[in-house]
Amino acid sequence: MIRITRSLLAKPALFIFAGIAITLATTGVTAVSLYQMRLDAMTQARDAANNLALSLEKETEHNLDICQLAMRDVVTSMETPATLQLTPDARHLVAFSAAKNVRELGAIFAADAAGNSTLDSRWIQPPKLNVSERDFFQVQQRQKGAGLYLSKPFMSRLGAGKPSIALSLRLDDANGQFAGIVAGTLRLSYFHHLFEDSILGDHGTLTLLETDGTVVMRQPYHRDDIGRSLAGGHSFSTLVQSDHGTYVDVAVIDHVERLYSFRRIGNYPLVVVVGLATDDIFAEWRKRAFAIGIVTVILDALTIMLCLMFSAQLRRRLAMERQLKTLAWFDALTGLPNRAQLNKEMLRVLTESGRNSSQSAVLFIDLDRFKRVNDTQGHDVGDEVLSETARRLRDCVRGEDVIGRLGGDEFLAILQNCDVHRAAHVAGRILQTLYQPISVSTKADTSITLSASIGVSLYPHDGQDADTLLRNADMAMYKAKSAGRNQVHFYAPVYERQAKEQLELEIALQRALRGGGLSVAYQPKVDVTGALQGVEALVRWNDAKLGVVSPERFIAIAEESGLITELDSWVLDEACRQLAEWRAEGIDVPGISVNVCAADFKRPDYPAFIAHTLRVHGLQPADLILEMTEGVMFDESADDIRASLDAIRALGIALSIDDFGTGYSSLSYLHRIPVKELKIDKSFVRGIGTDAMSESLAQTLINIGNVLNLSVIAEGVETRAQRDFLQNYGCLMYQGYLFSPPLSPRDFVLWVEAQRQQMPAG
Ligand code: C2E
Ligand code: MG
Ligand code: MG
């Protein structure tokens, strides 16, 4: 649980995502609720409109029924012959006994076949009035059995110009001929009052329509609306097709969108329509939605803000923790590992060296007279000098090595896979690099030159643990100081001597290389018949003071000091020159092999250099073989080397694997690089005849070469027995003292001539 919390707290961005997720969720829930509320508002409005429509329908139907009954009474009395004999008073009484209930609605009257009024519920003597022009008269006159007819609205002449409608029934005489009508007029103000009391909201409407679309009454009341036709509206067909229903539409009259609920009034050709404006329906909802929206936005903003603040705070805390960690393990001024971190690094390097049984070196580096810089130039300048020193130290070592600051002007270098030669070399380079003037950026024209004293201890010889190695390197550094500063001292006297020799050798080698002190010896490569098949160029150093130095020794020094590429270039040029010279003298030498190392292939211009050298001496790419050991393929900059190898292959120059079998167990590189020849190392050849293991290894190596279709040559062949064994197992080329040691150019010519005389002419 604690672990989960801690890992969550290590991810500040997570809180921002959480904030966004919470916000999205609450917004989503709010939106769904608001939508639901809106649906509810609509449902409630529909129920209210339906209820209102129903109650108005019932009320109106009831009143129309009363009116119709009263009219039917009048018809009955009119069609009873006895009634005609009665006095007007009595007739009035008989005819309108039921009509008193109708008074509120309007009046009931009768007219004869010519349309003249004969009876009127309001007066015993009916007023002189002719209705023959009216639709309610004409419809009944025209059509027998038309039943109850409902007129279009009109302005009542007797009712002081008030809008009315009329219901009419037909009167027939004894012969069934048209005898007039009975009509009931309904004052529309009745509906007006009825509708007025209904609660409809600000933009609601109530409409009483005839089924042909004629407006009988509309609330809100405008006199002009009465008699208008709504038959053109798109929802009109819905209205007339069923008894009741609801729909949403934009009104023809005022273009307001409303929810409409309609009901047909009984069997009358009338429809009551209740319209509630959607604006009114949603007014409350809108207010609430707005409030809820504002609250949600505020809450969301607060949530996001809190999350942002929390995550920012967390980020600051993590940054601070990181910084503290850096402070704990790294030096603030130079950014180098500090003493504590160096201890950890030393432990790591020593464990690794112990495991691989390799050597490593500890260099204690102390600037000479640094205190004087601080005292005379100030601490700012002192800091600058230390930073620059750190930068330069880093440039002096390989990626796997460690540079750190112990404090003050003391630095430490821990070098992995490092023997005394390399340690001496790196220390020498550090002295040289640090001795370059440092120009101070804060003080123009000021430059400071400082030397350093370096003490070296070597693992495992000078100590098995970090403390001992550090102490011994420190002591060696003090020796360097007391011996006059600006120098390197080794803790162990034996290394001290070796390192001195190493330095002397390096200087002497450089002198020899540049002063013509090196030469090249040539060793023939022969086939089974002893005929010359090639020659290997081997560098020689015979120093006036040091005597003959073995290539094994000075090649290692050249590699460590970086002189090797210069040396190899010189040998390549010299060997090519010599081959060209022999050929010019008429001596037939098939080609020349030259030894190269990893450093050569790392030169970007190496392929071009080889091509140039061949051209200068008039040789062909086929005249040259480059001998490299397997180690080259496993160098740390294998990619650069591959690029060079590809370019060299493209030139048509052959590669030979030297000392084959002594390097790496993986043979996969043989597929990847363009190898032409394998050289079986002399250590295997030496054991032939005495050591069964060497013999079987030699056999195996020959087999590999033959299977891969490479030429196989054995080096270090010293006896006939070795040669015969090798020939038996398929190795058909040889190099070694049995045929010839490496020779000077002049001796090589003599060897070739002697050989020619021995060989049968062919
Ligand atoms: P390598 O390329 O394997 O050369 C063969 C070495 O075996 C040579 O030693 C040669 O003198 C020696 N040798 C030849 N025949 C016999 C024999 O029958 N018996 C014995 N015991 N040894 C024999 P050398 O000249 O001392 O060279 C040592 C190594 O130095 C060479 O081994 C090569 O790796 C390197 N080397 C020589 N010249 C150059 C050069 O110009 N450049 C580079 N990078 N390395 C070179
Ligand atoms: Mg060789
Ligand atoms: Mg060899």
Ligand 1 pocket check for 682: Cβ under 6 Å:
yes
442 band by pLDDT with thresholds 50, 70 and 90: confident
**557 CA from centroid of ligand 3 (Å):** 18
Q: Return the ligand number nearest the Cα of 627.
A: 2
Pair 414, 394: CB distance under 8 Å: no
Atom of ligand 1 nearest to the CA of 559: 44
User: Whose CA is closest to atom 15 on ligand 1?
Assistant: 736
Ligand 1 pocket check for 453: Cβ under 6 Å:
no
Ligand 1 pocket check for 551: Cβ under 6 Å:
yes
- Please name which of 472, 456, 455, 468 lies closest in space to residue 350, comparing C-alpha atoms: 468
Cα dist from 303 to 293, 313, 317, whole Å: 15, 15, 21
**561 CA from centroid of ligand 1 (Å):** 20
Phi, psi of 457 (to 5 degrees): -125, 150
Q: Return the ligand number nearest the Cα of 742.
A: 1
Atom of ligand 1 nearest to the CA of 627: 2
Best mean pLDDT range from 320-329, 410-419, 436-445 = 410-419
**628 CA from centroid of ligand 3 (Å):** 9
522 band by pLDDT with thresholds 50, 70 and 90: very high
Measure the CA–CA gap between 698 and 720, rounded to whole angstroms.
Answer: 16
Q: Give the residue-averaged pLDDT of 237-266.
A: 88
Measure the CA–CA gap between 649 and 642, rounded to whole angstroms.
Answer: 10
Q: Return the ligand number nearest the Cα of 566.
A: 1
Lowest mean pLDDT across 233-237, 529-533, 682-686 = 233-237
Q: Give the residue-averaged pLDDT of 274-284.
A: 91
Pair type for strands 117-120 and 106-112: antiparallel
Q: Mean pLDDT score of the chain, rounded to an integer?
A: 89
Measure the CA–CA gap between 280 and 298, rounded to whole angstroms.
Answer: 28
The pLDDT of residue 237: 81
Which has the higher per-residue pLDDT, 721 or 118?
A: 721
- Residue-range domain boundaries for the chain: 1-325, 330-491, 502-757
Atom of ligand 1 nearest to the CA of 597: 44
The pLDDT of residue 168: 93
Pair 648, 628: CB distance under 8 Å: no
Amino acid occupying residue 239 = L
- 502-757 CATH, one of 3.40.50.720, 4.10.910.10, 3.20.20.450, 3.90.226.10: 3.20.20.450
Q: Write the pLDDT tens digit of every residue in 623-666.
A: 999 999 988 877 767 778 888 988 998 999 999 999 988 876 56
Alpha-carbon dihedral sign for residues 79, 84, 86, 91: positive
Lowest mean pLDDT across 141-155, 464-478, 739-753 = 141-155
Q: Write the pLDDT tens digit of every residue in 608-623.
A: 999 999 999 999 999 9
pLDDT above 70: residue 127: yes
CATH topology (fold) of 1-325? Beta-Lactamase (3.30.450)
Ligand 1 pocket check for 474: Cβ under 6 Å:
no
pLDDT above 70: residue 104: no
User: Whose CA is closest to atom 17 on ligand 1?
Assistant: 716
The pLDDT of residue 103: 66
Q: Give the residue-averaged pLDDT of 475-492.
A: 91
Domain 330-491, CATH: 3.30.70.270
Ligand 1 pocket check for 736: Cβ under 6 Å:
yes
Q: Give the residue-averaged pLDDT of 207-221.
A: 88
Q: Return the ligand number nearest the Cα of 680.
A: 3
Distance, C-alpha 342 to centroid of its chain: 37
The pLDDT of residue 703: 94
Ligand 1 pocket check for 740: Cβ under 6 Å:
no
Ligand 1 pocket check for 462: Cβ under 6 Å:
no
Ligand 1 pocket check for 428: Cβ under 6 Å:
no
Pair 259, 279: CB distance under 8 Å: no
Q: Return the ligand number nearest the Cα of 557.
A: 1
5 band by pLDDT with thresholds 50, 70 and 90: low
pLDDT above 60: residue 762: no
The pLDDT of residue 328: 80
pLDDT above 80: residue 6: no
**595 CA from centroid of ligand 1 (Å):** 9
The pLDDT of residue 561: 83
The pLDDT of residue 1: 59
Amino acid occupying residue 357 = S
**137 CA from centroid of ligand 1 (Å):** 142
Best mean pLDDT range from 43-57, 81-95, 107-121, 563-577 = 563-577
pTM as predicted: 0.53
Measure the CA–CA gap between 385 and 447, rounded to whole angstroms.
Answer: 10
The pLDDT of residue 176: 85
Atom of ligand 1 nearest to the CA of 521: 25
Ligand 1 pocket check for 597: Cβ under 6 Å:
yes
Ligand 1 pocket check for 436: Cβ under 6 Å:
no
pLDDT above 70: residue 424: yes
- Please name which of 560, 605, 297, 258 lies closest in space to residue 427, comparing C-alpha atoms: 560
Ligand 1 pocket check for 523: Cβ under 6 Å:
yes
In testing the pocket of ligand 1, which one of 523, 694, 715 has its CB within 8 Å of the most ligand atoms?
A: 715
671 band by pLDDT with thresholds 50, 70 and 90: confident
The pLDDT of residue 636: 66
Ligand 1 pocket check for 595: Cβ under 6 Å:
yes
Q: What is the token pair recorded at 568? A: 């190899």
The pLDDT of residue 620: 97
Ligand 1 pocket check for 218: Cβ under 6 Å:
no
**738 CA from centroid of ligand 3 (Å):** 16
Lowest mean pLDDT across 84-88, 284-288, 508-512, 690-694 = 84-88
Phi, psi of 388 (to 5 degrees): -65, -40
The pLDDT of residue 4: 63
Lowest mean pLDDT across 88-92, 140-144, 257-261, 512-516 = 88-92
